[in-house]
């Protein structure tokens, strides 16, 4: 039987119902990882699990079908996340990798017009959710003295992003959390890094572009051109490119990398 480069590893991925999260799940599964999948949308979660099974063949398909854990959960609810982690460790004996991907885009409005509830809701999912998931898996990783935590941040966590302040603040915070956690976890041989995509071609950026066009009262095409024009390569990155970077950071090849916020942007700037 051929072995994948991540065979025997267990990866927990949040927000796998669509987009980057789903693509990361498919990529890690294709490399042999056993998965702990979660999303707050049960239908989208089950579709991702179905796609994983459909894309794998032979013994590896049977292994994933028999072993992977797939459960609806809200990353802002510590009890739900802790229960998921406990059950995953009981069933799979380990969690080697955590990918904190669950996030929302939030409102597209100036600060003066953003409601407090919208601000708090974005930070609760995008930042506190990552804290909750890390807190839930860390005791297990620290006991085993190994692990990898990958936080899905954004280029918006490095630059100003007018009309997207809750989202930008959450991603700036996630990078700070990443660096601090890396320092704390270093003695336990746990690497913690952030991935910072620029605009990623897909459903999420389409929604962001539409909302921005509506708020500015300009054509959608003009907003799309603006995003692309700010890229050195004059294009958006793809979900597969982002997933490949995550797979590298989840692998043994990245054992010497921690505390980094790594951009994958096609040279995007603001």
Catalytic residue among 167, 227, 268, 269: 167
Q: Which distant-in-sequence residues (6+ apart) come within 8 Å of 131 by Cβ? A: 177
Instruction: Please say if 227 is a catalytic residue.
Output: no
d(Cα 270, Cα 264) in Å, to the nearest integer? 15
| CB-based burial, 130-161: b 16+ in 10 Å, e otherwise | bbbbbebbbebbbeeeebbbbbbbbbbbbeeb
Strand-pair partners of 38:
14, 71
| DSSP code for 113 | G
Q: pTM above the 0.85 mark?
A: yes
Measure the CA angle with vertex 249, ends 244 and 254; round to 5°. Answer: 125
Give SS3 for 135.
helix
Res. 59: pLDDT tops 70: no
Q: Which distant-in-sequence residues (6+ apart) come within 8 Å of 67 by Cβ? A: 34, 91, 92
Q: Give me the pLDDT at residue 269, please.
A: 81
Residue length, the chain? Answer: 270
Question: Residue 131 is inside which H or E element, if any?
Answer: helix 129-144
* Structural domains for the chain: 10-198+238-264 (3.40.50.720)
| DSSP code for 127 | I
d(Cα 103, Cα 160) in Å, to the nearest integer? 19
Tell me the per-residue pLDDT of 60-110, one tens digit each, with 9 for 90 and over: 444 444 578 999 999 999 999 999 999 999 999 999 999 999 999 999 999
- % of the chain beyond a pLDDT of 70: 94
Res. 191: pLDDT tops 50: yes
User: Measured between alpha carbons, how far apart are the two ends of the chain, in Å?
Assistant: 48
Q: Give me the pLDDT at residue 54, please.
A: 85
């Amino acid at each position: 039987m051929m072995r994948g480069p991540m065979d025997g590893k267990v990866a927990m991925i949040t927000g796998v119902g669509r987009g980057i999260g789903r693509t990361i799940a498919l990529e890690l599964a294709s490399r042999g990882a056993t998965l702990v999948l979660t999303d707050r949308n049960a239908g989208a979660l089950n579709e991702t699990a179905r796609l994983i099974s459909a894309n794998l063949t032979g013994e590896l398909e049977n292994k994933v079908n028999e072993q992977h854990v797939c459960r609806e959960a809200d990353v802002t609810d510590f009890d739900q996340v802790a229960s998921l982690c406990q059950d995953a460790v009981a069933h799979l004996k380990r969690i080697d990798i955590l990918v904190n991907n669950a996030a929302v885009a939030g409102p597209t409005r100036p600060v003066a017009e953003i409601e407090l509830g919208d601000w708090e809701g974005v930070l609760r999912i995008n930042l506190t959710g990552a804290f909750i998931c890390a807190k839930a898996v860390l005791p297990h990783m620290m006991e085993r003295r190994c692990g990898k935590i990958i936080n899905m941040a954004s280029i918006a966590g490095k630059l100003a992003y007018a009309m997207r302040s809750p989202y930008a603040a959450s991603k700036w915070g996630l990078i700070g959390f990443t660096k601090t956690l890396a320092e704390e976890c270093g003695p336990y041989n746990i690497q913690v890094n952030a991935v910072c995509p620029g605009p990623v071609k897909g459903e999420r950026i389409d929604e962001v572009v539409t909302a921005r066009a509506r708020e500015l009262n300009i054509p959608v095409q003009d907003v799309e051109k603006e995003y692309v024009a700010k890229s050195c390569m004059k294009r958006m990155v793809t979900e597969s490119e982002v997933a490949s970077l995550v797979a590298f950071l989840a692998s043994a090849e990245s054992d010497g990398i921690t505390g980094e916020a790594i951009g994958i942007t096609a040279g995007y700037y603001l």
